[in-house]
Amino acid sequence: MFHRIYAIAKKEFRQLKRDKRLLFVIFFFPVMLLIMFGYAVNFDVKHIKIAIYDHEQSSLSRDFINSLLHSEYFDLVNMISSEKEINKYLDEKLAQCVIVIPNDLSEKLYSDREVKIQYLIDGVDGNTANIINNYANLATLTFNQKFTKEILAVKGVKQYEPIKLDPQFWFNPELKTSKFLVPGLIAMILIVTAVISVSLSLVKEKERGTIEQLNVSPLSSLELILGKSLPFVLIALINAGFILIASFFLFGAEVKGSLFLLFATTLVFLIASTSLGIFISVISDTQQVAFTLATFISLLPSLILSGFIFPIESMPYLIQLITNVTPVKFFLKILRAIMLRGVGVEAFWDQLIYLGVFITVLIVFGTIIYKKKSQTV
């Protein structure tokens, strides 16, 4: 059995070696995707364009404006001189937020009365609008504390804070979204390249007519499937190493856990990905159909249903059940556990079981369908 699997794998390696264009795509495409997605997909909102309509134009209002502009989150587009310009700046997207400072800011603050500073935020993108609102609230709160401290110091009263927050962020102290997204990018790129390349391999045999020779050979369906999968698993492992090195130099993504554990779990995930590719190649008769199915089944679920971007816990229960169709969901939890938290197998052993079930189901169904198709032919 092992000699026959080795023979098929050796044949596949030789065919890959002759196809220079396919090899270029297999090794260049993943790193290119990592660079494109890594820099394009970013939830950090900085350099928010703001315009300010300062009614008062006092030293206090200027201090408030300077407190906003000293951070990297706000960039001043212009100082507005009339209310008519407010609509223009928001309608034409010249600014994402217009701040209106009232003409009685100093009077009310120094007389211990409430002051309302208006933030007019472009709410077309709800997520960005919420982030701008949070930044504005934080900036206003910081200015409030500074102003209160100065007033109390003048009166000779020491400010008393009965409870003081001491936030400490574990695993990602800088709160960089790139560190959160890189494991998802690695999983998505690996499954896309593995599924597409494997799915096309068996379909090529059908289109060239060489599948008939394989069917009449002593090979069993399982041996053929394993022999076809093995070369792509090894190539995908090499790809995984390239992607990991590139993510370290480009985005500072470090592996805090065991490298051996990362290698072993990646191997299991790649077997799951190649089994999905084999299943697609079994049910497809042309390379065009195989490529379309492989792209659709691997890419879309990886983006939407894996927890890569959207948290699964916030999805409806029915959709949470559907997320089990992609192995990226399970591997992503493993990757984040090893790369970001640095934990061991005790934290994700159940995900490995799910991947094992996924592999078994696909290989069994793929073998059964291939046998039935071979018998009908």
DSSP β-bridge partners for residue 78: 51
Instruction: Check if the beta carbon of residue 234 is closer than 8 Å to that of residue 310.
Output: no
Rounded to 10 degrees, the C-alpha dihedral 21/24/30/31 comes to: -140
- Crossing angle of helices 126-155 and 59-69, in 10° steps, is 130
Q: What are phi and psi of 310, to 5 degrees?
A: -100, 125
Copy the structure tokens of residue 190.
């690996």
d(CA 85, CA 81): 7
| Alpha carbon separation from 266 to 15, 104, 214, 233 (Å, rounded) | 25, 63, 30, 10
d(CA 135, CA 68): 9
Residues near 243 by Cβ (< 8 Å), separated by ≥ 6? 30, 31, 34, 186, 189, 190
pLDDT, position 374? 66
d(CA 327, CA 194): 12
Q: So where are the chain's domains?
A: 2-42+178-376, 48-155
d(CA 335, CA 341): 9
d(CA 183, CA 351): 15
CATH class for the region spanning 48-155? alpha beta
Closest of 293, 291, 298, 245 to residue 269, by C-alpha: 298
pLDDT, position 331? 92
For the chain, which residues score pLDDT lower than 50?
none
pLDDT, position 52? 92
Task: Render the burial of 263-279: b for 16+ CB within 10 Å, e for the rest.
Answer: eebbebbbbbbbbbbbb
pLDDT, position 125? 79
Give the single-character DSSP code of 309. S
